[in-house]
Amino acid sequence: MRVVKEAAERRNEILDAAEELFVTKGYDKTSTNDILDKVKIARGTLYYHFKSKEDILNAMIDRINSSLIARAEAVAKDKSVPIVERIVMTISSLRVNTDIGNEIITLVHKPQNALMHQKMQKSLVEGVLPILTDLVNEGNKEGIFDVKYPKETTEMLILYSTIAFDDDYDESPESSKKRIIAFLINTERLLGAKEGSLQKTMMKLFN
Amino acid sequence: MRVVKEAAERRNEILDAAEELFVTKGYDKTSTNDILDKVKIARGTLYYHFKSKEDILNAMIDRINSSLIARAEAVAKDKSVPIVERIVMTISSLRVNTDIGNEIITLVHKPQNALMHQKMQKSLVEGVLPILTDLVNEGNKEGIFDVKYPKETTEMLILYSTIAFDDDYDESPESSKKRIIAFLINTERLLGAKEGSLQKTMMKLFN
DNA sequence: CACACAACCGACAACCTGTCGGTTAATATG
DNA sequence: CATATTAACCGACAGGTTGTCGGTTGTGTG
């Protein structure tokens, strides 16, 4: 008995299955057959909705990242919160292991899934960069920061934090804590903020 | 007529072929058959010398990186040059497009070759980090820098520069130049160096 | 009610990697 | 010099993969 569904619904079913498989087994080691079995559809159906395996990956990443970026944007634009805190919270909203439903990215950061990793990172950085740059500009106006090249400096902060706080680069919990403190100090310097102005706020959020 | 060679020689022949293919076609899209054709050996021979395709990739990366790191180390340890310049030169010695024989890495940084890219980057960072950290420590002693967490700060510099100066992230030559200048200023801040102290030296080398 | 089309199916072609038993050149040994 | 040993090599083959394509079936519409 053949089940017919609206294209949008099927697409999502496929993406759901793919997401779980890619995350647990890794992209390379997940075969399209694995996906077919899980969704219980035939080969032809999969390729009716997506033009290739990589196309599925891209769609999946878009789905994840747009929700991630939407959240980051909400945080960043909450004018009731001081800028310094908003910056901190926006960055840490990307450190996904903090959050529900998103152990995803913790797992995604496995050596196997290089392609997935790279794609997510790039699209994440691109999405968050303008948001954070705005915040830095605001800080400049308020006089609490002093940044000549806001976009480039922000880029440096984001790029570093998305990589350095990956599981790959964590050796001991000891060194990871040290890295966070160093990151705070360095962020202060890069933003030209008063010494210690970020540290208190941040340590709360980074726990 | 079967040609027999010493294992070490065959291994290198295979690595040579693989390197060229991986770089031009990308790792994923290079099949072991492509390599076999190029070296003119049979399937069994390849797997006599390497245990898998990924094993070939790893060996190739080791070969490239150890030569790259050796050069970086030579630069870093030349005590006749002032520290600031040595730091600059060490970092720019990784910007491989500058140098002969190493357009490799410019090409390697294509989206397709995610795995290769990731592996090279990680091993590069690991190799260069201790070298550069030493330099920063020296600068601290000399009083021209003021860095509390040398290793972590150096890590930030390396990580950022290896990524941001990839071709992926270059849009216009305009923005790429801006990014370099910003990087210099930010490096000064991170190292706690006097304003402008790096800039002159660096602009020469980065051209 | 029949027609059109979107959604679905599964066999199949064309690859791909890694294995394995057997072969050959080079070198050591009696 | 004949023979044994073994490192380097070979290619057929098993088992897996992705993407294609002609054909089928459910569903809404005139």
pLDDT above 60: residue B99: no
Which amino acid appears at position B191 of this protein?
Answer: L
Give, rounded to a whole angstrom, the gap between the first and last alpha carbons of chain B: 53
What is the rounded average pLDDT of the residues A82-96?
Answer: 84
Nearest to A121 by CA among A173, A161, A154: A161
Under 8 Å CB pairs connecting chains A and B tally to 79
Q: CA-to-CA distance for B96 and B101, rounded, in angstroms?
A: 9
pLDDT band at B19 (very low <50, low <70, confident <90, very high): very high
Nearest to A132 by CA among A199, A84, A81, A63: A84
**Do B152 and A111 make contact, defined as CB atoms within 8 angstroms?**
no
- Report whether A176 contacts A195 (CB < 8 A): no
Q: Which residues of B touch A181 (CB under 8 A)?
A: 149
Residues of B with CB under 8 A from a CB of A: 111, 114-115, 117-119, 122, 148-149, 152-153, 155-156, 159-160, 163-164, 168, 178-179, 181-183, 185-186, 189-190, 192
Domains annotated for chain B, with CATH where assigned, are 1-51 (1.10.10.60), 52-206 (1.10.357.10)
User: In 3-state terms, what secondary structure has residue B1?
Assistant: coil
Task: Check: CB of residue A92 under 8 Å from CB of residue A205.
Answer: yes
pLDDT at B204: 65
Q: Are B206 and B92 in contact (CB under 8 A)?
A: yes
Q: Do B156 and A155 touch (CB under 8 A)?
A: no
Comparing A27-41, A101-115, A162-176, which segment has the lowest mean pLDDT?
Answer: A101-115
Q: How many Å apart are CA A198 and CA A203, to the nearest integer? A: 9
Confidence at residue A99, expressed as pLDDT on a 0 to 100 scale: 43
* Percent of chain B whose predicted confidence (pLDDT) is above 70: 86
User: What was the pLDDT predicted at B101?
Assistant: 44
- Give mean pLDDT, residues A62-70: 93
Cross-chain CB nearest to A186 (options B114, B153, B185):
B153
On the question of pLDDT at B107 being above 70, the answer is no
Provide the mean pLDDT of chain A: 87
DSSP string across B20-75: HHHHHH-TTT--HHHHHHHHT--HHHHHHH-SSHHHHHHHHHHHHHHHHHHHHHHH
B42: CB within 7 A of chain C nucleic strand: no
Instruction: Give the tens place of pLDDT for each residue, A90-104.
Output: 988 886 544 434 555
Does residue B100 register a pLDDT over 60? no
pLDDT of residue B193: 93
Residue A41 pLDDT exceeds 50: yes
Dist. CA A161–CA A154, nearest whole Å: 11
- Please state which of the ranges A126-140, A192-206, B1-15 shows the lowest mean pLDDT: A192-206
pTM (2 d.p.): 0.89
Q: What is the C-alpha to C-alpha distance for residues B81 and A92, in angstroms, rounded to an integer?
A: 41
Tell me the HSE value of A171 on the side-chain side, using a 13 A CA sphere.
5
Sign of the alpha-carbon dihedral angle for A189, A194, A195, A198: negative
What's the average model confidence in pLDDT over A16-30?
94
Please judge whether B182 and A122 are an interchain contact, meaning their C-beta atoms are less than 8 angstroms apart: no
**H helices, E strands: number in chain A:** 10, 0
Range B148-169 average pLDDT: 87
| Both structure tokens of B22 | 């991986």
Beta carbons of A182 and B117 less than 8 Å apart: no
Q: Per residue in A148-201, pLDDT tens?
A: 999 999 999 999 988 887 666 666 777 778 888 899 999 999 999 988 887 777
Please say if the pLDDT value at position B110 is more than 80.
no
